[in-house]
Structure 1
Amino acid sequence: MKSRSESLIRLKKFNVDEKRRQVMQIEMMVADFERMASELDQQIEIEQTKTGISDVAHFAYSTFAKAAMQRRDNLLASANDMRSKLESAQDQLAEALEDLKKVELLDQREHDRERQEQNKLEQEAFDEVARLRSRRL
């Protein structure tokens, strides 16, 4: 029984670790997308300052700035999409943690039950020794 519960606990811990890694990876991706979008914002501002045209509808507006805006918008859309995946991954992590706690609690109860049974057997043995001694006297 012990090896089964220990194996189950190891499996649940592995599952929790895997879910944590997924959450961290998604968080890093969102941060990277936002950082790249911010850098593109800076490049767009620099380009607009350099050309002196900030109106996107202007016929001479920089094609580099237009392309950078499109890329920035795509990055922000990807970051938003990843946030929904992050929520899902966080929910899965919470479930995995809950499962681990349940298994650990069951294992602890089993250990407590075994310890109580062992204590009961020892007490019965001590009682028997005491009875035998009292008969001798």
Structure 2
Amino acid sequence: MKTRDSLIRLKRFQVDDKRRQLAQIEAMIAEFNRMADELDDQIRSEQERVGITDVTHFAYPTFAKAAATRRDNLKNSALELDEQLQRARDELNEAIEELKKFELLEERDQQRERSAQEEAEQQQLDEIAGRARAR
């Protein structure tokens, strides 16, 4: 039984670890998207300042070009993290299923022990009642 208790603790730790990883990835995606939105605002602001919105124009601001490149890199990184996020969700679901299996086994064993104990107690009560009737 102690081995199963240790195994359940390990599985719970793994589930918690997977949840932390999932939260970290979600936070990174949110941060990348927030930064990309800020860059979009800065690009629009720069375009309005100089009055040029055509990226191919020879006088298009260098800052806006650099910011657009950085924004695109952030968006690509967020997309790559989306793939990692899905894998992390799958791994979390697998870890939860494994934990449930062990918890169900433990619950079944505990129920079996309770039933055996109740049966033993009932037998003792029956013996006592039998002795009392015999007198």
TM (norm. structure 1) is 0.96
CA deviation digits over 1:58-96, x for unaligned, max 9?
A: 011111100100000000000000001000000101111
Aligned-residue sequence identity (percent) comes to: 56
Equivalent residue number for residue 20 of structure 2: 21
Equivalent residue number for residue 54 of structure 1: 53
Equivalent residue number for residue 102 of structure 1: 101
For structure 1, the 5+ residue unaligned runs are: none
Equivalent residue number for residue 132 of structure 2: 133
SS in structure 1 opposite 2:56?
Answer: coil
Runs of 4+ in 1 over 6 A off after TM superposition: none
CA deviation digits over 1:12-46, x for unaligned, max 9?
A: 11000000000000000000000000000000001
CA deviation digits over 1:83-129, x for unaligned, max 9?
A: 01000000101111111111111100000000000011111111111
CA RMSD of aligned residues (A): 0.7
SS in structure 2 opposite 1:55?
Answer: coil
Aligned pairs (5 A) from 1:18-97: 18-97=17-96
CA distance in 2, matches of 1:58, 1:6: 68
Residue 20 of structure 2 aligns to which amino acid in structure 1? R
Q: 125-134 vs 23-32, which deviates more? A: 125-134
Residue 111 of structure 1 aligns to which amino acid in structure 2? Q
Q: Give the paired residue count.
A: 135
For structure 2, the 5+ residue unaligned runs are: none
SS in structure 2 opposite 1:77?
Answer: helix
